[in-house]
A = this chain, B = another copy of it.
Amino acid sequence: MRVLAKDLARIAAEGQGGEIELFGWVHRIRELGGVTFVILRDRSGLIQLVLSESGDFSESRDSPGPSLSGELSLESVIKVRGIPALNEKAPGGAELKVGSLECISRAAGDLPYQVNGDPAKIGLDAILDNRALSLRNPKLRAIFKVQSTIIEAFSAYLRGEDFTEIKTSKLVGGGTEGGAELFEVEYFDTKLYLAQSPQIYKQIMVASGLERVFEVAPAYRAEKHDTPRHLNEYVSLDVEMGFIESERDLITLEKGLLAHVFQELARKNLPELELWKARVPDAGEVLKAPVVPYEEALKIANDLQKKSPGASGRIFDINPEAERFLCEWARQEAGTELLFVNEFPRRHRPFYTYPLDASRTMSFDALFRGLEITTGGRRQHDYDALLEVLPKFGLKEEDIAGYRVFKYGCPPHGGFAIGCERLTQKILGLANVKEASLFPRDRKRITP
């Protein structure tokens, strides 16, 4: 019966005796006074194996002991049987005194990437070029265990609030966010585009009577820039909800949602958070996140900017610099790393955004640790009102054919989207959002 690395100390402490079996990868090999120490890596963690000459090593029967390290290449997959023993000096507090070892899959010796190295000392390009191997590093793999919990907690919270999960087509006739930043797909005899967001679909699903929907799916932006905050393909955590009054209902929902996500991470992923020396905000911190109207936010950002060394001039928009200043302000003023900016000017928001007055909209962004992680707002549900604003956006009725269903009864509604990789990045303090994508795509990176 297989035992996982993480359970070895407990089993050793129980002292039932008897051999147990472990499977995993050879993470590190060290020889010391005729004894070979191997660090074994499995899905649960790392554990020390002690190999002495008395063992029966099926793959190296003629030369046990010291020379085993030659046979046992790094990254080989092995199966070991042996007796667990407590050892304070071993990682995890226990080790396995190996009785027999079988090599299941021998790794070639020309390993092109140092799996057991410190990722901080390896460049991002090397990490991504060797993705299939770099993901074996426990610290890099931890990013995706955290991401898995984010998706789980996001979905679970919304289901608890009576939301239905939907899956909509990613092959669409055009963009809803404006701009020409679309990837074209040859679709039989015609051309389609990869969806920038499920915007129109999630609105249709609210109007379908599901009222509350969410989707976890890829989204595509054909933007040429290469920054630490952009991906051309990312996982969008989308939410849409009917019968709201303003964006404040959505902010309340997102606060509850983020508090739950952080709580679940603290409960399930402490080892992964520790590898990155990361902490998640507690629920209290999330709930007290300030909600700051756009104009006021701009003023706060400019005030902080003036006081900062190397001030680069007036800030005219909630740009990346402003996002950093605002999060710094929220930390100092309210003791939280999260804030919401609402009431964005009409000109900064898509045509479907609901007006607050002639110049402002019922929209918001969420900023977390210096980065925008969410954009959202109430949507215009009145078809005639939607038609009225189209000319200002250079659009015609036929450009928004999908919205025609709003003629036939549509509740007030709104929603938001969280960038899954950005949230992962900020939770763990990663320098580049690409680190939070398993197989990131940018202008030049198309493999693996």
- A334 CB–B CB distance under 8 Å: no
Chain A stretch 74-108: residues in CB contact (< 8 A) with chain B: 75-77, 104-108
**Chain B residues positioned under 8 Å from A200 (CB to CB):** 448
Chain A stretch 414-448: residues in CB contact (< 8 A) with chain B: 420, 438-441, 443, 446-448
Kindly state the separation between the CA atoms of A105 and B406 in the bound complex, as whole angstroms.
Answer: 9
- Contact: B166 with A212, CB < 8 Å? no
- Contact: A107 with B438, CB < 8 Å? no
Interface of A is mostly: mixed
- Contact: A43 with B217, CB < 8 Å? no
- Contact: A132 with B185, CB < 8 Å? no
- A173 CB–B CB distance under 8 Å: yes
- A122 CB–B CB distance under 8 Å: no
Interface residue range, chain A = 35 or more
- Contact: B75 with A411, CB < 8 Å? no
The residue in chain B whose Cβ has the minimal distance to the Cβ of A106 is B409
**Chain B residues positioned under 8 Å from A267 (CB to CB):** none
Chain A stretch 334-364: residues in CB contact (< 8 A) with chain B: none
- Contact: A188 with B224, CB < 8 Å? yes
Looking at the assembled complex, report how far the CB atom of A26 sits from the nearest CB atom of chain B, in whole angstroms. Answer: 7
14 A–B contact pairs at CB < 8 A? A25-B409, A77-B411, A105-B409, A132-B204, A167-B218, A168-B439, A169-B218, A186-B186, A187-B441, A188-B222, A201-B438, A205-B438, A401-B448, A402-B448
Q: Given A167-B420, A171-B441, are A409 and B26 neighbors across the interface (CB < 8 Å)?
A: yes
What 0/1 readout, one digit per residue, does chain A (183-194) give for beta carbons within 8 Å of chain B? Answer: 111111010101
Q: Given A443-B188, A446-B192, A448-B402, are A132 and B165 neighbors across the interface (CB < 8 Å)?
A: no
- Contact: A205 with B135, CB < 8 Å? yes
- Contact: A209 with B439, CB < 8 Å? no
The residue in chain B whose Cβ has the minimal distance to the Cβ of A420 is B167
Looking at the assembled complex, report how far the CB atom of A322 sits from the nearest CB atom of chain B, in whole angstroms. Answer: 30
Looking at the assembled complex, report how far the CB atom of A390 sits from the nearest CB atom of chain B, in whole angstroms. Answer: 18
Looking at the assembled complex, report how far the CB atom of A368 sits from the nearest CB atom of chain B, in whole angstroms. Answer: 20
